[in-house]
Structure 1
Amino acid sequence: MASSGADLVVVLNCGSSSIKFAVYDSGVDPLPRKPLWNGKVQGIGGPAADFGESGVAPFAIALDAGEPYHAALALIRDRILARLAGRRVGVVAHRVVHGGSRYFEPVRVDAGVLDDLRGYIPLAPLHQPFALEAVAILLREYPRLPQVACFDTGFHHTLPKVEQILPLPYDAWERGLRRYGFHGLSYAYMATVLPERHGAIARGRTVVAHLGSGASLCAMQDLRSVATTMGFSALDGLMMGTRTGALDPGALLYLMEIEKLALDEVGQLLYHRSGLLGVSGLSPEPRVIVRHEDDQGETGERARIALALYVRRIVREIGALAAVLGGLDLLVFTAGVGEHNAFIRERVCRDLAFLGLELDDDANAAHAAVVSTAGSRVRVGVEPTNEEWVAALQARSAIMPA
């Protein structure tokens, strides 16, 4: 359907050092999965920030050293305004990582909602404060512009209570200490696209592996979340680029009681200095670490053990989710590592051969949509995620209900 000249939807996905944006035409129904244009500012707060967008090669930018995040948002605002061509922005959608025990559905943000969401910053410190800073700036500069928070925790609202509750005294549950799950916008997209790609099999016993700088798995039954690896915070579950994933809490007690690390030092360790980066000493990126596996000495040994641990944690958790599901019909890899690192997929699938899973090496090397053999008892897919489209769809529905 051709555009009606209706308002535009702008999606902001804000992290600590980058801001991604995408612009969609709300006058097209159904909403196109490809944006009119999109872009990204990265390196915010560092020595070499750059900006890139559709049709424009990335170029270096200078951001105000005092308030680089504000400057990056202002740059995005100005670039969008320059390309409106007489159109109007009708709503801004924000990916907000944590909605706590109160917010599951997309919600229009006002000052009260913003204050509520600030209470969840300690649970997602790499993302929550930056998304909310963008909301606050726009509320101040454009108070009449609708803004909608779209929650990464929302998709997991279908988790049964046995998957949500923590083995703490029961009053912890009543205070909101529970397993929430994350990467929900990505999994919501998978729930839409996987039946289109794989038909009825997608409604069976499915595990989606969202492997990026942050990483988690989601077990789906009938396209609904029934178990996931991230829990109360975005630290739980799989080993990640710089985050530990699941960790014996006794190790934290030791670090604080015996090694006398302060609370902020422990936070830095868990979020920024661990995972692939911490074990390898090289990089949070598997594609960088793998180049050093054949190195001699400690460098090679640490590269090998980092990747082996990364894969082992993924395999172990897929096995656990398969047990919860009572078997496995479909395994799907998505996000940056999952979509683009064939060697990670190969190693994970090799260790899951006991499930009857067989990988097609040529298809895997080509990043095909289906990378398992015809005879594999478990189908294995690779599917690009599209969190921005889900956020745009949710925001449009929130302010312009059918």
Structure 2
Amino acid sequence: MPEWLLALNVGSSSVKFAAFPRAAGSELLRGGVSSIDDQPQLRLRRVGEGLSVGSCGALVTDLRTAIEHALDSALSCLDRSKLVAVGHRIVHGGADFTRPTLLTTETVEALSQLERLAPLHQPASLAAIDLVARHAPDVPQWGCFDTAFHAAQPRFNQVFALPAELAARGVRRFGFHGLSYEHAAQVMRQRYGGGGRAIVAHLGAGASLCALRDGVSVATTMGMTPLGGIPMATRPGDLDPGAILYLLEELGMSISEVRDVLYRRSGLLGLSSESGDMQRLLASARPQAAEAVSFFIESVQREIASLAAALGGVDTLVFTAGVGEHAPVVRAGIGAACAWLGVRIDSALNEANADEIHVPGSAIRVAVVRADEEGIIAKHLRDILLS
């Protein structure tokens, strides 16, 4: 058994993990716990074996127990004495963490100060760090930050039109889903030698878009927290700040009630009054579900137009993450809405979830990329261990 690395990707609604050899090589193991709030399942694939799917039963009741079950599954499949490093996807690194960082006690304390900026994600990531420390106390852990990918953006894409003293106190744009965008940029380099002016649409339970020039982030739709941009499963996306004041001042809602509305009751769930899950909405016969899907598509195409302006044109449009990879209806709707820009999607290729789904000769290349934040985490760990 070779020495190996573990990448943990704790999201707002799922836990993913993958193991890789310390030296170059493909993954040894990949899995995840999904449907945490409704019949949680463990999916596991070991090298040379097929995919196994099983119920987690009473072992998983919330996100923390899902993390523990995922960690136990990984450690039971491989020789834990050969585990040399663990890497974590951490959503918010703030202004200070712009590269992979060793997770010391002081670092974890600093990251805990950012919990209010990412309450669905940051506490879960810190819980994962704690659980790993309990299971493998001698194994170094490293944090890889979603915000770091956007640190090189032009300054005017990192600020709000607010008083300078507020910016000095940390009120600014950061952007998220950076590990996913980093992976998309890597795939474009491998496939096309670069990618030129690209817009990547990370469409999942959490969703955002990013404009890249030669693999470097130029602009993105999320801001200071993972609430902004396009509507998501349970988050509203961009919202008139005056609406928040109205909820507080006129409707008399408490801050905790407003936080619950914004993080857990809005987005596709709020619009449809049915579900935040795109596949369930697509299968629904209720008009509210269809309206929620249409609202989502309209929001995405508006952001594509904005990001195209930031780039001065588009060469490649990339779809990634759960909805981006597995919802041809949504991709087709976005493509049709962006026909004016030169996007032309081939129906057969789209239905087949092909790597490229544009019509031959189309002015804009349209690609589908399987999200692999775990692979990017492993890449960073290898780079660290080699340095």
Question: Are 1:11 and 1:391, in contact at CA under 8 Å, matched by a contact in 2?
Answer: yes
Q: 1:76-155 to 2 correspondence within 5 Å?
A: 76-85=70-79, 88-155=82-149
**Counterpart in the other structure of 2:56:** 60
Output one character per residue of 1:235-268: Cα deviation in whole Å (capped at 9) or x when no partner: 0101111110000011111111111111111111
Return the alpha-carbon distance in structure 2 between the equivalents of residues 64 and 314 of structure 1.
Answer: 34
After the TM superposition, which of the residue ranges 5-14 and 353-362 deviates more from structure 2? 5-14
Give 1:224-235 correspondences, 5 Å limit.
224-235=216-227
Aligned twin of 1:257: 249
* More divergent stretch after superposition (46-55 vs 105-114): 46-55
With over 3 angstroms needed to count, the CA separation of the structure-2 counterparts of 1:324 and 1:71, relative to structure 1, is closer
By how many angstroms is 1:57 displaced? Answer: 2.3
Match of 2:20 in 1: 24
The AA in structure 2 aligned to 1:113 is T
In structure 1, the residue matched to 2:48 is: none
Which residue identity does 1:278 align to in structure 2?
G
Distance 1:259 1:243 in 2: 20
CA contact (8 A) 1:178 1:231 kept: yes
Note the 1:3-402 alignment, pairs <5 A: 6-27=2-23, 29=24, 31-32=25-26, 35-44=27-36, 46=37, 48-54=39-45, 55-63=51-59, 71-85=65-79, 88-200=82-194, 202=195, 204-292=196-284, 295=285, 299-300=286-287, 302-398=288-384, 400-402=385-387
Secondary structure in 1 aligned to 2:333?
helix
Deviations 1:179-228 (A, max 9, x none): 1110000001011111222335x1x2110000000000000011100000
Q: Say if 2:64 and 2:124, in contact at 8 Å, map to a contact too.
A: no
Tell me the distance in 1 between the aligned counterparts of 2:71 and 2:228: 35
Q: CA deviation at 1:135?
A: 0.9
Structure 2, gaps ≥5 residues long: 46-50
Tell me how far 1:163 sits from its aligned partner: 0.1
Q: CA RMSD in A?
A: 1.9
1:17 to partner: Cα distance? 4.8
8 Å contact kept, 1:6–1:87: no
**Which stretch of structure 1 is more off in the superposition, 179-188 or 303-312?**
303-312
Task: Output the TM-score relative to the length of structure 1.
Answer: 0.90
Question: Residue 342 of structure 1 aligns to which amino acid in structure 2?
Answer: P
Q: 2:216, 2:238 → 1: CA distance?
A: 23
**How far apart, in 2, do the equivalents of 1:60 and 1:383 lie?**
29
Percent identity, aligned pairs only, is: 40
Contact 2:10 2:67 (8 Å CA) reproduced: no
Report if aligned partners of 1:49, 1:62 keep a CA contact under 8 Å in 2. Answer: no
Q: 1:231 to 1:70 in 2, by over 3 A?
A: closer
Residues 310 and 117 of structure 1: is their aligned pair in 2 closer, same or farther, counting only changes over 3 Å? same
Structure 1 CA distance for aligned equivalents of residues 127 and 5 of structure 2 = 19
Q: 1:89 & 1:135 partners in 2: Cα distance?
A: 15
Matched residue of 1:158: which SS?
A: coil
Unaligned runs of 5+ in 1: none
- So what's the TM-score if we normalise by structure 2? 0.93
Q: In structure 2, do the counterparts of structure 1 residues 133 and 62 end up closer, same or farther at CA, with 3 Å as the change threshold?
A: same
Contact 2:16/2:70, CA 8 A, preserved across alignment: no
Q: CA deviation at 1:147?
A: 0.2
Q: How many pairs are equivalent?
A: 382
Please state whether the residue corresponding to 1:219 is helix, strand or coil.
strand
| In 2: Cα distance, 1:11 partner to 1:192 partner | 18
Residues 78-107 of structure 1 show CA distances to partners (whole Å, capped at 9, x for unaligned) of 333332247511011111000000001000
